[in-house]
Amino acid sequence: MMEAAVLLGSFLLLILIGMPVAYALGVSALIGAWWIDIPLDAVMIAISSGVNKFSLLAIPFFVLAGAIMAEGGMARRLVAFANVLVGFIRGGLSLVNILASTFFGAISGSSMADTASVGSVLIPEMSKKGYPRDFATAVTVAGSVQAILIPPSHNAVIYSLAAGGTVSIAALFMAGVLPGLLMGLTLAVLCLITAKRRGFPKGEVIPMRQALRICADALWGLMTMVIILGGILSGVFTATESASVAVLWAFFVTMFIYRDYQWREIPKLVHRTVKTLAIVMILIGFAASFGYIMTLMQIPLKITTFLTTLSDNRYVILGMINLLLLVLGTLMDMAPLILILTPILLPVVKLIGVDPVHFGMIMMVNLGIGLITPPVGGVLFVGSAVGKLPIEQVVKALTPFFFALLLVLVAVTYIPALSLWLPGLVLGS
C-alpha cells in the first residue's frame, strides 16, 4: 500500500500545487519508478510506446476536420437546417439548439467546439426572441455533451487506447449512437416541458423553397458523417483512415463549396490545432508511463479486490463506480481521467461481467456530465464565456438539465442493450 500511496499521493500533491495534469502524471511516474527501484529508462520507453500507436492518428485528423467545419460556417448552416425541422414548435429554438448540437457533434466530436460554435449562433438569437439568456446558455452547454457519445468521439479513441487497444474503435463509435440520441431526446423533452410551462414563443414555418435551399446547403457538411461512419462500417476505411478522408472532405466543402473561410486563415487554424494536439499527445504519453508504474505496483488488482469485497452485486458496484466518476469528473478533465481510470476500473467491471464497450459508454456519460459541472467543467466555462454570463447563473439554470442527464446515465448503466445492440447488429460484436 505504501507504493500506491507514494504514486497517487505525489500525483495529487503536484495537482494541488498547480502543476498541469499531464506533467503531474509524468513526474509522479518518475517518483513511483524511483520508489520501487526500477530504471528510469523504463519510464521513458513507456512514454514513447504510449504515443507510438497508429490508432492515435485518428485524434489529430478528427480534431482538424472538426476545426475546419466549425470555423468554416458549418455551425450556422446546421442551425438553419435544425430550424427547418423543429423551429416552428413552441420553444422551437431550444429544440433547434439540441438538434444542431446533435448534428455538429457528429462532425466535430468535441463538446467544447460544439458549445462555442452552436452557442455563438444560437444564444444571441434565443435571447433576441425572448428566451432567458441563462436558459439559452444552459441548453447549449447541456446539449453539447452529446458530442462525447455520438461518433466520431475523440474520447472513444482515447478509451480504446487506455484499454490497451483491446476495445474496437468502430464498436465504440456504434455504441455511442443510441445513448447519444437518447440524451438528445431527453433534453428535448425537458425543453418542451419548460417551454410550455414558461410560455416560450413559437417559431415560424420556413417556406418550402427556402427550406429546400437550406437543406441542400447543410447536406454538404452532413456528408462528413456519412463518410466517417459509412467508410468504417463498409470496411473501406479504418477509423483512422476515415478521419483523414474526413479532413479532405471538410477542406473541400469549406474552401470550395461554402467559401466562407479565408485562405490566409488556414495556417492559423492549423497552428491552433497543432497546439491543442501537442497537449493531448503529451498527456497520453505521460499517462502511459503512469499506467505502467501502476501495473508494476499491482494497483488495479488491489482496487479490483477491494471493490469486489465490498459487494459481489454488479448493480451495486456499477453504482459505486458511477459515484466515483461523477465526483472525479468535477475535479479533473475528461481525457486524463479516461487514461488514468480505465486501466484501474476495467478489470473490476470485466470481473463482474460488464462488457468493455458498455463500460466505455458508462464512463463517457459520467465524465461528460463532469465537463459541465463546477469547479473544473471546461465546457461550462466555454458556455459561460459565449453566453457572457457568470458561471453561478449558468449553473443555476443547468440544474434541471443535470437531473435529465443523470436519468440518461442510469439508463445507460443499467440497460446494456442501449450500448451493445447496435454494435452487435452492425459489426457482429
Nearest CA to 61 among 210, 277, 215, 266?
Answer: 277
Q: What is the DSSP letter of 202?
A: B
> What is the C-alpha to C-alpha distance for residues 63 and 108, in angstroms, rounded to an integer?
7
> What is the C-alpha to C-alpha distance for residues 89 and 127, in angstroms, rounded to an integer?
17
The stretch 66-95 carries a mean pLDDT of 82
Residue 91 and residue 126 in contact, taking contact as beta carbons nearer than 8 Å: no
pLDDT digits (tens, 9 = 90+) for 300-314: 777 878 877 888 888
Question: What's the predicted TM-score (pTM) here?
Answer: 0.87
| Identity of the amino acid at 1 | M
pLDDT digits (tens, 9 = 90+) for 122-147: 898 888 888 999 999 999 999 999 98
Output the nine-digit C-alpha cell for 241: 483512415
**Cell 479565408, residue located:** 262
The stretch 200-227 carries a mean pLDDT of 84
**Cell 462532425, residue located:** 107
> What is the C-alpha to C-alpha distance for residues 156 and 225, in angstroms, rounded to an integer?
16
pLDDT higher than threshold 60 for residue 254: yes
pLDDT digits (tens, 9 = 90+) for 3-15: 888 888 888 898 8
Q: For all residues of the chain together, what is the average pLDDT? A: 87
Residue 240 and residue 57 in contact, taking contact as beta carbons nearer than 8 Å: yes
- Cα–Cα distances in angstroms (integers) from residue 183 to residues 24, 61, 297, 409, in the given order: 34, 26, 39, 9
Measured from the Cβ of residue 425, the count of other Cβ atoms closer than 10 Å reads 10
More confident of the two residues 297 and 98: 98
Give residue 240's pLDDT: 79
pLDDT higher than threshold 90 for residue 357: yes
pLDDT higher than threshold 90 for residue 354: yes
Residue 292 and residue 43 in contact, taking contact as beta carbons nearer than 8 Å: yes
The stretch 324-345 carries a mean pLDDT of 87
What ranges make up the beta strands (E) of 267-378?
Answer: none
Cβ within 8 Å of residue 108, ≥6 positions away: 65, 66, 67, 69, 70, 114, 117, 147
Query: Which range scores top for mean pLDDT: 99-113, 197-211, 396-410?
Result: 396-410
> What is the C-alpha to C-alpha distance for residues 184 and 181, in angstroms, rounded to an integer?
5
Nearest CA to 389 among 50, 132, 87, 204?
Answer: 132
Measured from the Cβ of residue 427, the count of other Cβ atoms closer than 10 Å reads 16
Over pLDDT 70: what percentage of the chain?
A: 99
